[in-house]
Amino acid sequence: MLIMKKKNHTRGFSLIELMIVVAVIGILSAVAYPSYQEYTRRGARAEARAAMLHMAQLQERNFSDRGAYATVDGSSAAPWAASSYFSGATYASRKYGITVATANSNSTYTITATPENGYSDSKCGNLTLASDGTKSSSSGSAADCWK
């Protein structure tokens, strides 16, 4: 009669298998995290561009009605006061601050989106939209930052 010995196999992972898994996770996260950061930056820029274009639309509407662009002073009588982007707690969570400057007796305006609240965007910096439709960026190409 043949006697078969039962082999003792331990269950679990060896240290080498565990180190391979850790290395793979490290490599994946090194690639994924910068991509995620750029994705969120593009989203914040898109939100700022949308707010700027909305403000430009309101300025053009005011120009059509009154023959001049509105002076932005934050008063409740301003045409954009009802806009959800410029009111209440929702604005505090935004990554860009939107400012509007009028010049030449309110015949031109410049809308600027500036990163704020500790947020930085080294690729594009400040975004600017002028009353003549000129779009620019303080640190990147306007074509890349406004697409």
Q: What is the pLDDT of residues 129-139, one digit of tens each?
A: 999 999 999 98
Query: What pLDDT score was predicted for residue 93?
Result: 59
Buried b / exposed e along 29-51 (16+ C-beta atoms within 10 A): eeeeeeeeeeeebeebbeebbeb
Domains belonging to the chain, first-starting first, are 15-145 (3.30.540)
Q: Is the pTM of this model over 0.85?
A: no
10 Å CB burial of residue 3 (0-12, 13-18, 19+) is exposed
Distance CA 50, CA 100 (A): 14
Q: In what order do the strands lie in the sheet with 127-130?
A: 96-103, 108-115, 127-130, 135-137
Residue 96 clears pLDDT 60, i.e. is over it: yes
